[in-house]
Amino acid sequence: MRKILLTALAAAPALFSQAQKAVTLNGELKNIDNAIEKVFISYRSGSENVTDSSSVVDGKYQFALRLQEPTIARLTASGKYGPSVSAGKTRALVFLDQANMTVTQTDSFSNVQMTGSKANAEFKKLNDSRKALNDERNKAIQQYATFAKEQNKVGMKSVETKVDSIDETIRKQYGTYVRKNSSSPIAVFALQQYAGYSIVASEVEPLFKKLPKASQATPSGKELGKAIDIAKKTGIGQVAIDFTQNDTLGNPVSLSSFRGKYVLLDFWASWCGPCRAENPNVVKAYNTYKSKGFDILSVSLDRDSAKERWLKAIHDDNLTWTHVSDLQYWNNAVAKMYGIQSIPQNFLIDPQGKIIGKNLRGEELEKKLGEIFN
């Protein structure tokens, strides 16, 4: 998504819908180094990612905002940092609402108190309720960094499992929050966190239907509704949506041309670190089962300006199967068709074209293919 400036938006009011509301965010820094010269804000307005900056004068700053719905925002300090804004405490998260708001940051830039936003009050309440889990997760991340420095792969794997477990607990808490607070101004946000990047429609859709119609009709609500519809079409047991996209030589390749085989539809990109880290596992699976009726079709989310990097990554990682892409980055037509919001992601499809597995990585992919072929 491209970034746009609020100053540019203010000059073109015709771009805004009737649902947008002009509000003010006033900020004050108390007992914090005067070296903070600017504060930046970034948030989402409708379908756009917005950034803006405000100069700090006598410890105060101000933003003029146009909001279509309550939305989360990041505040970032800029300047010659002193003790009060050092050690990673240059950022703060707040939940904006369609009302005039005041933010006060005392002793530390990240220590935020906000008035005027019902959404932020709910956001704070939700965060406070899972403080113990967040603290446990932060400790685990620090432990992971230590293991990584020591190149202790066993320790790293143990921490990864622990963090995954904590994240799943937090995800479920978001679901519980929506069940109990469907009319909350942050209910859509909480449901998005519960849904995650790989939506299980049978879990998420009932909660979405519990939201007030007004919440469903917000930009975020509409976006989530569309994602749920796509998830229903790409769930386990569904026939995989057919598509055609060009391979590395410009030749069109259709998913349906793989009928009769088990095929892994794999979404990745040369710039994606986790994808590249997973590739050895995919290569191993391919080499083990390709003679038994297993194949792979990889869809890349690379850019048109970086086609050579895509081709080099295929060669360097020894990915000797079929690759396609329209080189449109996150706007890749197939990725949008399948609701891909993060990578790596994959779909295992049977010889009849039905989806029988999703997001199978490492040992999970090996186990599933072993069940099929052995």
- Statement to judge: residues 147 and 216 lie in one domain: yes
pLDDT value at residue 88: 54
- Statement to judge: residues 331 and 291 lie in one domain: yes
Q: Is 34 within the bounds of a domain?
A: yes
Q: Is 238 within the bounds of a domain?
A: no
Q: What is the dihedral of CA 235, 230, 268, 302, to 10 degrees?
A: 170
Question: pLDDT, tens digit, for every residue of 158-199?
Answer: 999 999 999 999 999 999 999 999 999 999 999 999 999 889
- Statement to judge: residues 248 and 361 lie in one domain: yes
- Statement to judge: residues 218 and 254 lie in one domain: no
Domain closes at, from 117, 139, 166: 117
- Statement to judge: residues 102 and 135 lie in one domain: no
Tell me which residue range forms the domain holding 31. 3-117
Question: pLDDT, tens digit, for every residue of 187-198?
Answer: 999 999 999 988
Q: Is 124 within the bounds of a domain?
A: no
Q: Who contacts 96 (Cβ-Cβ below 8 Å, separation ≥6)?
A: 23, 25, 43, 65, 67, 70, 71, 72, 73, 117, 119, 120
Domain closes at, from 233, 264, 292: 233
Number of domains into which the chain is organized = 3
- Statement to judge: residues 96 and 38 lie in one domain: yes
Domain holding 268: CATH number? 3.40.30.10
Tell me the three state secondary structure of residue 106.
strand
- Statement to judge: residues 163 and 259 lie in one domain: no
Question: pLDDT, tens digit, for every residue of 196-224?
Answer: 988 999 999 999 999 999 999 999 999 99
Domain closes at, from 89, 117, 145: 117
Residue 139 pLDDT exceeds 90: yes
- Statement to judge: residues 41 and 110 lie in one domain: yes
- Statement to judge: residues 254 and 369 lie in one domain: yes
User: How large is the average pLDDT for residues 342-360?
Assistant: 97
Residue 4 pLDDT exceeds 60: no
pTM score > 0.85 for this model?
no
Q: Is 239 within the bounds of a domain?
A: no
- Statement to judge: residues 104 and 194 lie in one domain: no
Compute the mean pLDDT over every residue in the chain, rounded to the nearest whole number: 90
Give the sheet arrangement for strand 60-67, strand by strand. Answer: 60-67, 21-30, 101-106, 112-115
| Strand-strand pairing, 21-30 and 101-106 | parallel
- Statement to judge: residues 197 and 279 lie in one domain: no
How buried is residue 299: exposed, middle or buried, by Cβ count under 10 Å (0-12/13-18/19+)? buried
- Statement to judge: residues 34 and 101 lie in one domain: yes
Ranges assigned E (strand) in 282-339: 294-300, 322-324
The model's confidence at residue 21, banded by pLDDT at 50, 70 and 90, is: confident
The model's confidence at residue 90, banded by pLDDT at 50, 70 and 90, is: confident
% of the chain with per-residue pLDDT over 70? 92
Question: pLDDT, tens digit, for every residue of 300-327?
Answer: 999 999 999 999 999 999 999 999 999 9
